[in-house]
Every structure is written in structure tokens, then in C-alpha cells.
Amino acid sequence: MAGPSDEQIISGIVDALPMGVWVARAPGGELVYANARFAEILGLDARADVGVGEYAEPYAIHDRDGALYPEDRMPFVRALQARETVVVDDIVIHRTDGGRTHIRADARPIFDGEEISHVLVAFFDITREVEAETQLRRAQRMESIGNLAGGIAHDFNNLLAVVRTIASTLLLGEKEPKRREALESIDAATESAVQLTRSLLGFSGRGKNLAAPVDIDALVSSLSEMLVRVLDRRITLRTELDARRSVQADASQLEQVVMNLVLNARDALDGCGVITVRTRSSGAHLVLEVDDSGPGVPRSIRGRIFEPYFTTKKGHARHSAGLGLATVYGIVEGHGGTVEVLDAVDGGARFQVCLPALGDAPAPSRPSERPQEIVKGEGLILLVDDDDAVRGSLASGLEAIGYTVARARDGEEAVECFRKEPGGFAGVLLDMSMPKLDGRGTYLALRELDPEVRVLLMTGYALNEEAQEILDLGVRGFLAKPFRLGDLSEALTQLLS
């Protein structure tokens, strides 16, 4: 019995190669041969009825921006023009099954004397490589934007601290109704600005407060009633809660994640449709998903949709022009998780959040709001802040509620001032971010002079890991700028008691 021929053996070997092989005659591009892997990569068999100038549409060949690939830039054409091997790595095949395959094509001309008789093109599937590069570039871009946003929020909070402290100080002794109303309006406007800076800090990952076990099912359930009120009556909100586990997180920030994702879904529905909030466990992670029945998110903008103030052109499925999704991204990243946008099973978009999971969750507790009161005090306070305006306004506020104030413009000056009057200070109000000697270094130096020194830490950032590290060293309390005079008076009362 005769064995396989040499041609059959060679054909079997070529079919087993990890790349697609396609050979066509020059110069017309008529098909000569294509192996089995070629059809697997492109999602369709090689076609003998197409040639030069007509490859893009039949094979669904596109560039990375989604446009049909130019015929004069096809690997076959470029190899003929260059008369040497060319490498093309910006091809994307839009498969009939809806998938996208990124291609690197090595096109090699085959010579018959001085003339090119054929062109051999090897197709490599580089989808994973391209996706990894895209994710890395996105992470680097988001980190850069986050650093910028965090710095802006920090500086803006210092400015707001000046406005809020002065308004609170003036309000303290004001009896005339219209003046009181004006000062209260300033405080209200400041609070609106504070919400914006908190969103920026959330995006930058520098706004994470003290974390505690949070029952994600209970959190979503408690938000549902409020969420229904902000949705159009033609929008149905469904919840499928089956996580049964907790996460170590800032509960208020997780609430913001859920709210922002639901509001984003609402905006995609144009007043009518279904939003589904789903929780489940997946290995060591807890998964939160928000699906909508809208038109979905175009693949072309998914890499930028979490950027602050990113705006799509009219005609796209979504128009994002704020900090909602950017805040979601920052909060999730700050909690060690990931967030991505996918296609929902029944159409529309799915925003999927994955967070590291804990065990069984306790019921979340929320602090109750109570009226703020100004608590008068006494004693010498060492005020340490590198911002002149902040230092001046805080000193006036402290003096207005009974304290005597010594001022220092940086950590080194604070240590020297403290050394001159050991035991003379009732407490220290210390900024975290300063030149020369930062909050951590200043506290450690003060503690060497007086192991019982009472320090209240403040910063233009929220309570993040850096601030928590300083608190763990023995600092007695924390205030995030901009705080009201009542917040400061209460914190100092607790510090000195």
C-alpha cells in the first residue's frame, strides 16, 4: 500500500504551522494556495475570485481605527513595490462571528530570475499582544491623568480651605441676617466645589478613606430605593444579588461606584429600557455588573471612556462629558480592583467591576448626620502648613474659638519652634504634604522631643494610605481639607481631652 506523497506530506506540515500561509501570483494576486490556519485566523476560506485592488471588503480587512484597509497598502502590494520582505502589523480582521483579530503579515516576494512570480504572505494572530499593549498604554495614560487630577484637587482643596475657614470664622460672630445668609451661601458653594474635588481624588486613587468590611449585596439593596427615584418611570431597575461575600472597602465610595454606573446606564437608555445590577462571586473576587439595554459602547472608544471629561462625537452610542466613569475607575483601582466595559448578553453595555473578596460580610453601618457645633477651647496650638493663605486663615479661625497660635511654614521650622518650648504646646495641627520635611518626618521628629505630643493631621487629599501610615505611627486624629471651623473645633477638643 503506497504511503502519502511528498506533496501531501508538505501540505500537512504547512497546515500544521502556527501561522496562516497565503500564496498568490504576481502581479494580479490570483490565489494559488492557502493553508487551514489561514481560514481559522480570518474566519473564512481563501477566495479565488478576488485579486489586487479588491481584498479589503471580501476579507473584511480593516485598520485599527475601524476603516477598510487601503488597497494600495495591502501586504501583497507593498511586497511587489518594495521587492523585498515587508512586515505589516496594523491589520484588523472583522470576523463574521463578531470577533476582531489583529494580524501581523510578513509578505515575501518570490523571484523567477529578475521578475516576481508570486508573493507569499504569512499571517500571525497578534490579538493578545495588541490587547496587552493597549491595556498597558491605557494604564499609563490613566496614571498620568490621575496624578494630574490628584495634584489639581489637592491644590484646589487648599484654596477652598481658605474660603471655608474665613466664611466659618466670620459666621461665628455674625448677627445680621442678610450677612449670615451670604456667608452660608459661600459655605454651600464651597461644599459643591468640595464634591468636585472628591470626585477628582476618587479618580486619582487618593481619596480612599478608612476601609472596613462591606456587604456588597446589602449596599446595593439599600441603594435600590433611592436609585429608582432618579430613573425615568419607563426604566426598569432589576437587581440580581448573589455575592454573599464582603469586600474591604470604603462604603461611601462603593456607593458612588454603583450610583455612577447606574446613572451612566440611565443616560444610555434615552428614557426607556432595563438596567440590571448584578453581584456574584468569582474565585477570590467579588463581581459587580451593571447592564443596560441601550445601544452599547462602540469598541473604538472603550479604551478612553474612563478618562475625565472624555466626550464622544455625536452619533456614538454614549456621550460622556464629566467625571462619573473616571471616578468609578479611580475608586476601583484604589481598592485593588479592575473595571471594564463589555457587551451585555442581550445587547447594550455591561460595566464589570472585580474587587478582592473577603468572607461573610457584616451589615454596613452608616454614621448619622448631626448638627455641627462650634466648641470653644484654649491652649497654645502649633500650626504647621506651607501655604501662607491656609496658615493665615486657620490661625484666625483658631484664635476666634479661643486658642493661641504659633505658626510654622514647614516641618523644619515646626521642629525648631517645638524645641524652644518643650511642653509648651497643647497640640499640633500638622499638614501632611510639605517641602523640606513632610508630615511623617515632622511627626517623628516631634515625637523624639516629646513622646506624648498630640498631633492632628490635615491634608488636601482624603484619608489615603500615606495618611493612614502616619496615623498608625501615633498621630491622634485626621482632617481632610477643606473642613469647617466646627469640624476643627471638635477635632481639637477630642485631641486635647
Kindly report the three-state secondary structure assignment for every residue of 327-377.
Answer: HHHHHHHHCCCEEEEEECCCCCEEEEEEEECCCCCCCCCCCCCCCCCCCCC
Matching residue, cell 486663615: 393
* Model pLDDT, residue 462: 59
Q: What residue ranges of the chain are covered by domains with CATH 1.10.287?
A: 131-204
CA gap 377, 15 in Å, rounded: 85
Residue 179 gets the label, from left (phi > 0), alpha (psi -120 to 50) or beta, of alpha
* Model pLDDT, residue 275: 93
* Model pLDDT, residue 367: 43
> Structurally, what CATH architecture does the domain formed by 380-496 represent?
3-Layer(aba) Sandwich (3.40)
Which homologous superfamily does the CATH classification assign to the domain defined by 212-356? Histidine kinase-like ATPase, C-terminal domain (3.30.565.10)
* Model pLDDT, residue 320: 47
Q: What residue ranges of the chain are covered by domains with CATH 3.40.50.2300?
A: 380-496
Beta bridge partners of 291: 276, 350
415 half-sphere exposure, CB direction, 13 A CA radius: 16
* Model pLDDT, residue 171: 82
Distances (CA, A) of 34 to 8, 28, 373: 14, 16, 81
CA gap 372, 387 in Å, rounded: 27
User: What strand order describes the sheet that includes 477-480?
Assistant: 404-408, 380-384, 427-431, 455-459, 477-480
Let me know: does 286 contact 245? Beta carbons within 8 Å: yes
Q: Identify the CATH class of 14-125.
A: alpha beta
Enumerate residues 6+ apart whose C-beta is below 8 A from 214: 246, 247, 248, 249, 251, 254, 361, 364
* Model pLDDT, residue 142: 63
Mean pLDDT in order along the chain per 10 residues (497 residues) = 58 74 94 92 90 93 92 95 94 88 94 94 92 75 68 76 83 81 82 68 56 86 81 89 87 84 88 91 92 86 76 46 75 86 86 86 45 80 91 91 92 92 88 88 92 89 70 84 87 89
Q: What residue ranges of the chain are covered by domains with CATH 3.30.450.20?
A: 14-125
Q: Quickly name the fold that domain 131-204 has.
A: Helix Hairpins (1.10.287)
